[in-house]
Amino acid sequence: MTGPRHPIALHHAPGGLRLVHDRRPATAAAIFGLAVRAGSADESPATEGLAHLVEHTIFKGTARRRSWHIINRMEAVGGELNAYTTKEITVLYTVFPATALQRAVELVADLAINSTFPRAELEKERQVVIDEINSYLDTPAEAIYDDFEDLLFAGTPLGHNILGTPGSVLSLDSSHCRDFLDRFYRRDNAVAFYSGPAGADRVLASIERHFVAMPEGRPPRAGSQPTAAPRFDICRSLPIHQCHCITGTGCPSLTHPGRHATALLANILGGPGLNSLLNLELRERRGLVYSVEASTALFENDGALSVYFGCDPEDLDRCRRICENTFSRLAEGYIDSRRLAAARKQYLGQLAIAAENSENRILAAARATLLRGKPTTETETIEAIHRITPHHIAGAAEALLKPSTLTFIPS
């Protein structure tokens, strides 16, 4: 049992670093980390993949610790270290027994401030990243999302793969990594986050102690701006057995009030429920696909709404027509007040269940604080979803009437 859930709060440490704090008094585990406003959108064309490479190699040595000591610092007490990179942020965090708070804060601060990116370790990690890039050749169902976003956001900072290319990764060295750390890993450009039993005062005191050497300031950045990429319909031949298709369009950003209607539309179309429209049309009634899903990818100033499915080559055109017909039905008002009430009830229930995952909850709050200035409260989200009308759903669906499409077909 985790006990009653308190509202997530935003605090400021004396040194200026913000803290997103989620108090869970009855839990024996805790999460602490740092979210930094730096991702692949902050790279130059010559340094694509740098943010991700920094995330990989930040664990490989600091001025105080070698790689082995970093790995074992939290594992020795039963915890673990994690990190990930997106187009706009990088996150370092640890999940640990709640009694090891000081250990966790000190280690994360050491990584964010004192990482040295040793040359020998960087050489090894570059090969790991290149293997990761090449592994996408074996997973077209994942690679198609990245390729679709590259096309949809072409010409903007969002329009290249987070991993970079083998060539770009091979061109990066320790000085590139350290320069990226110095430019972006700053107090005004980051948010610390904590979920666990400790009160905010105790966490803030630990932050003040261990992050004192973190530089101030916020780096200049162009940021991602809404894209007006031309519509596309592209087929790529690959040595695969099944067709993979993704179709979609731009949508309201993470900071736009219209994002809630888009998210609800995606859930209606192809959310995790087996009663989603496209799962019923494509799988349950016709057996044409194994899986179909609709999703949104939301950024500070842009977004993407997409539908993915995989099917046999001979069924591709039929599946596309069914998707297009479903989009048209929704744009023409298929979701009336009764259907909207049912869809809203299901979606709110899914959100309530998801909020019980403390890790996802605190990571989402940290991301919202970086990109929107504050965590989004559950009350705000619920109220926004209740304000959605059938007209909003139809309006969001209209964007799908002329979608862009990328298809991987067997060669």
d(C-alpha 297, C-alpha 60), whole Å:
31
The structural domains of the chain, with segments of one domain joined by +, span: 9-210, 233-410
CATH number of 233-410: 3.30.830.10
Q: Do 9-210 and 233-410 fold alike per CATH?
A: yes
What pLDDT, on the 0 to 100 scale, is given for residue 2?
44
Compute CA distances 252 → 163, 300, 406, whole Å. Answer: 25, 10, 21
User: What topology does CATH give the domain 9-210?
Assistant: Cytochrome Bc1 Complex; Chain A, domain 1 (3.30.830)
Residues of the chain with pLDDT below 50 are 1-4
What pLDDT, on the 0 to 100 scale, is given for residue 227?
58
What pLDDT, on the 0 to 100 scale, is given for residue 138?
85
d(C-alpha 282, C-alpha 284), whole Å:
6
Q: How does pLDDT run across 104-136, given as a tens digit for each residue?
A: 999 999 999 999 999 999 999 999 999 999 998
For residue 80, which phi and psi values (nearest 5 degrees)? -150, 155
Q: What is the DSSP letter of 98?
A: G
The distance between the two most distant Cα atoms of the chain, rounded to a whole number of Å, is 63
How many DSSP H helices and E strands does the chain contain? 15, 11
- pTM of this prediction? 0.93
d(C-alpha 200, C-alpha 12), whole Å:
10
What pLDDT, on the 0 to 100 scale, is given for residue 230?
87
Using CB atoms within 10 Å of the CB of residue 151, give its burial: 0 to 12 exposed, 13 to 18 middle, 19+ buried. middle
3-state SS, one letter per residue, for 105-152? HHHHHHHHHHECCCHHHHHHHHHHHHHHHHHHHHCHHHHHHHHHHHHH
| H-type alpha helices, 197-305 | 200-210, 259-270, 277-278
